[in-house]
Chain A
Amino acid sequence: MKEKIIKILTEIRPEFDFSEQVNFIDAGMLDSFDVVALVVALDTEFGISIDGMDIMPDNFSSVGKIAGLLQKKGVPE
């Protein structure tokens, strides 16, 4: 799952290395429009619909947090 997440993130912002252990939001690697594009891509890739209430920047600040969101929607690790 984490490899797929990094691949999607890289498609959205190819200029950054998302395997780094940094806060993607604080580091300026993802802005709010990137988060929207990311949610659309994750919904499509994993056949889910991430809850609108969960679409807050902090939930997309690391690969681990994104994986947590997916697991909440029943996507296996």
Chain B
Amino acid sequence: MNLSFHNKRITGMLTIVPAEEIKFEDEMENYNFSTAKSLKLKAAMGYNARRIVKEGVCVSDLCIHGLNYVFDNGFLAREDIDALILVTQSPDYLMPATSSVIQGHFGLKQDMICMDISQGCAGYIIGIFQAFMLLEQEEINKVVLLNADVLSRKVSKKDRNSSPLIGDAASLTILEKAEGSGRITGNIRMDGTGATALMIPAGGFKLPSSAATAELKEDSAGNFRSLDNLVMKGDEVFNFVQREVPPMIERLLEKAGVGRDEVDYYMFHQPNKFMLNKLADKLNIPREKMPSNIVESFGNSSGVSIPMAITYNLKDTLKDKDYRMCLAGFGVGLTWASLLITIGHLDFCAITEF
């Protein structure tokens, strides 16, 4: 599905990362591999360090920290928020929506919309789509898009498919109406037949958490995880990404009438370095235009890896310059989405630690 938007822009971006850093070598003994093999895995996948939250820290904590940052620095006035979107797969509660919890924490005005969106690696793009659609409304002038996950809390430390790559983080993006700004082109597809490729089987209404679901069991590859843990079928996800993402990007650029070389940066979700490099090669995109340095320094924080790649790599220039960027996210759902957008001349662009 193709989407297009006009007269809207991103005006500020903030990434919130936990202060606690874990090195790959510190956890190698958990992975049921020889040291030599673990180090090969590290080199191929780009696993170096990741940031994870301390026990008990929730998505709302990271988001509240981020909102305090923008309020305290004068980047945003509380009364100007007309919509608060939170994209997450690790909400504080099954109900109510965590965005409502955050609204209540700050005592924001009642005349606004709060909504949670359950989406993962493509969630940042979907959040932008939703924000732009809300901005079509006469009374909505400013949307705060929060994207946050603390999935390290749901990963078995003895699962080398997931544990060495998962990081926690949040991002805050402000989106506004902007007369005369250029056309923004998007693309999204979904395939629910692959819904079990990335999932947390227990903890919802279908299979409530219990002592039985918390029991660690060994899979055929020697990983240990419970039904309460995140499970990722790595081979299926890899094949899905390599099959679907390159043609999606081709469709997006064709629809926008933009050549591959006319894009300054390809800021893609970063599951691991190997997968990203293969995408760059397939698309004939120079690897320096598609940064892969987030997953190796912060871990894979689901959809947040996209805004984190932007703030981490371009925070020194994005306040003064414009860049045409192709954003892409792919994963849980299965979902794959992309966006061609010019980002720049931001009011703020920063990273802060929690």
Contacts and interface: CB of A to CB of B under 8 A. Distances in A.
Interface in B150-168: 160
Interface string B234-257: 110011011100000000000000
Nearest to B41: A33
Given A33-B37, A53-B242, A55-B242, A40 B278 contact: no
Contact of B239 (A31, A33, A34, A56): A56
B44 A53 contact: no
A51 interface: yes
B261 interface: no
A39 B242 CA distance: 15
Give chain B's interface residue range (CB within 8 Å of chain A).
20 to 34
A55 B278 contact: yes
Contact of A49 (B45, B160, B234, B281): B281
B133 interface: no
Contacts of A47: none
Contacts of A12: 40
B45 A36 contact: yes
Interface in B90-128: none
Interface in A13-72: 31-34, 36-37, 39-40, 49, 51-53, 55-57
Contact of B282 (A32, A33, A37, A51): A51
Given A12-B40, A33-B41, A53-B243, A40 B274 contact: yes
B234 A52 contact: no
Nearest to B220: A31
A16 to B, nearest CB: 13
A52 B279 contact: yes
B243 A32 contact: no
A31 B278 contact: no
A77 to B, nearest CB: 23
Nearest to A35: B235
B195 interface: no
Contact of A37 (B44, B238, B279): B44
Interface of B: 33, 37, 40-41, 43-45, 160, 221, 234-235, 238-239, 241-243, 274-275, 277-279, 281-282
Given A33-B44, A36-B44, A52-B278, 11 more contacts: A33-B41, A37-B37, A39-B274, A51-B278, A52-B241, A52-B242, A52-B279, A52-B282, A55-B238, A55-B278, A57-B235
20 contacts: A12-B40, A32-B234, A33-B40, A33-B41, A33-B44, A33-B160, A36-B274, A37-B40, A37-B44, A39-B274, A49-B278, A49-B281, A51-B242, A52-B238, A52-B241, A52-B279, A53-B239, A53-B243, A55-B278, A56-B239
Counting from the closest, the 5 A-B pairs by CB-CB distance are: A52-B242, A52-B278, A49-B281, A37-B40, A40-B44
Interface of A: 12, 31-34, 36-37, 39-40, 49, 51-53, 55-57
